[in-house]
């Protein structure tokens, strides 16, 4: 077996200035990138911290007790996040997902949710406000999150077997507590709930069927995600990827499935319904099947860097612009200029690219900009 090498390098500092273009770009809700893709989905990381140490995201070898997390002053305040979000919404964003790290570690996150929930799309409709969590704090926070205006949650859960789950989170956290969090979210009305399972060959693929059986008929949508080559610290290897097609085959052999239509443009998950009508699953083929063609997502890091792709190596520094006193119109123009120049399609080009996309720059860590 190949040796697992994990580079100990901080990749957060690679940023580009977010300049204001000479010709203003008004926010009309019709913004498109170089490939004609609109801006509809904004993912906001609210913290770079997490209480889990999953090997595919924040391995202990790198994120140990001495790891230099961002100081609080470097993080965007809730007011700054909301101000930036307002400009993204003016350009056409309809959905905001809060991520991390673990977003529920950000103190008083309910205040941010209240602020974001007050925003309206260009059509005057409420935004779709969602949050991705590891579920460890969900049982105690679900009601408050719902009351603040959160609509849905996605919970990361990589297996039901307690020993496997503890191994994968690497902090000995019990699976029962995450299941309690899912139950609490369901009781609070944070649904439909989605559960994401990262499948890593040789580690947890035997949990595919137990997970499918557990969530079948509950109204919770279980999604299987191929182990991804995100960042530089997870020691990713192709031989640890279990293709989504095989996941579907394994489930279909025991629980017959029928393919469903996509739920929305830009949807990353391929949908499959149980033939008996008892619910659905999804598969996200992040490695074996490109989904860049209609990607409409932007990502805002916890310190205000705008990333145009999950596999990007550089961000655009909106915080510097914000704290330099730029007007809303200038911020909107800067965002518009950045998005209009976007041509990212890493998943479609992966097979022909060297590991660092030819520039020598490492890709940003998933724990920094969220999944």
- Each residue of 207-219: pLDDT tens digit? 999 999 999 999 9
The contacts of residue 6 (CB under 8 Å, 6+ apart) are 59, 61, 62, 233, 234, 235
Least confident of 2-6, 110-114, 274-278, 326-330: 2-6
pTM exceeds 0.85 for this model:
yes
- Each residue of 30-80: pLDDT tens digit? 999 999 999 999 999 999 999 999 888 888 988 999 999 999 999 999 999
* Alpha-carbon span 276 to 255, nearest angstrom: 9
More confident residue, 354 or 321: 321
Residue 154's DSSP bridge partners are 132, 194
The contacts of residue 176 (CB under 8 Å, 6+ apart) are 162
Instruction: Give the pLDDT score at 356.
Output: 45
User: How many Å from the N-terminal Cα to the C-terminal Cα in the chain?
Assistant: 28
Name the pairing type of β-strands 297-300 and 41-45.
parallel
Q: Which domains does the chain have, with CATH numbers?
A: 15-183+294-369 (3.20.20.70)
User: For residue 361, what pLDDT band results from cuts at 50, 70 and 90?
Assistant: low
More confident residue, 23 or 3: 23
Instruction: Give the pLDDT score at 32.
Output: 95
Residue 307's DSSP bridge partners are 299
């Amino acid at each position: 077996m190949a040796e697992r090498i994990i580079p100990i390098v901080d990749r957060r500092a690679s940023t580009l200035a977010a300049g204001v273009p000479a010709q203003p770009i008004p926010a009309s809700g019709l913004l498109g990138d170089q490939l004609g893709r609109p801006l509809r989905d904004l993912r906001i990381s609210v913290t770079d911290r997490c209480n889990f140490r999953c090997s595919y995201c924040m391995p202990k070898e790198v994120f140990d007790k001495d790891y230099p997390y961002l100081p609080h002053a470097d993080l965007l305040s809730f007011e700054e996040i909301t101000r930036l979000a307002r400009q993204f919404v003016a350009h056409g964003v309809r959905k905001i997902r809060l991520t991390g790290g673990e977003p529920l570690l950000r103190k008083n996150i309910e205040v941010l949710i209240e602020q974001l929930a007050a925003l309206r799309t260009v059509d005057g409709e409420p935004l779709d406000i969602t949050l991705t969590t590891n579920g460890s704090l969900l049982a105690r926070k679900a009601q408050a999150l719902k009351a603040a205006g959160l609509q849905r949650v996605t919970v990361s859960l990589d297996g039901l077997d307690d020993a496997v789950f503890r191994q994968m989170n690497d902090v000995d956290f019990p699976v029962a507590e995450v299941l309690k969090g899912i139950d609490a979210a369901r009781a609070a009305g944070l649904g439909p709930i989605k559960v994401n399972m990262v499948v890593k060959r040789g580690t947890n693929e035997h949990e595919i069927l137990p997970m499918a059986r557990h969530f079948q008929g509950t109204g919770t949508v279980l999604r299987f995600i191929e182990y991804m080559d995100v960042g530089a610290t997870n020691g990713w290897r192709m031989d640890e990827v279990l293709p989504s097609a095989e996941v579907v085959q394994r489930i279909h052999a025991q629980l017959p499935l029928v393919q469903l239509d996509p739920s929305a443009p830009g949807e990353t998950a391929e949908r499959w319904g149980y033939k008996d009508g008892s619910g659905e699953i999804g598969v996200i083929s992040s490695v074996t099947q490109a989904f860049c063609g209609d990607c409409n997502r932007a990502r805002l890091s916890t310190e205000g860097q705008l990333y145009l792709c999950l596999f990007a190596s550089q961000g655009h520094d909106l915080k510097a612009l914000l704290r330099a006193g730029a007007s809303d119109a200038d911020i909107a123009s800067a965002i518009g200029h950045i998005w209009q120049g976007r041509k990212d399609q890493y998943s479609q080009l992966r097979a022909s690219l060297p590991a660092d996309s030819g520039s020598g720059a490492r890709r940003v860590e998933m724990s920094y900009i969220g999944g």
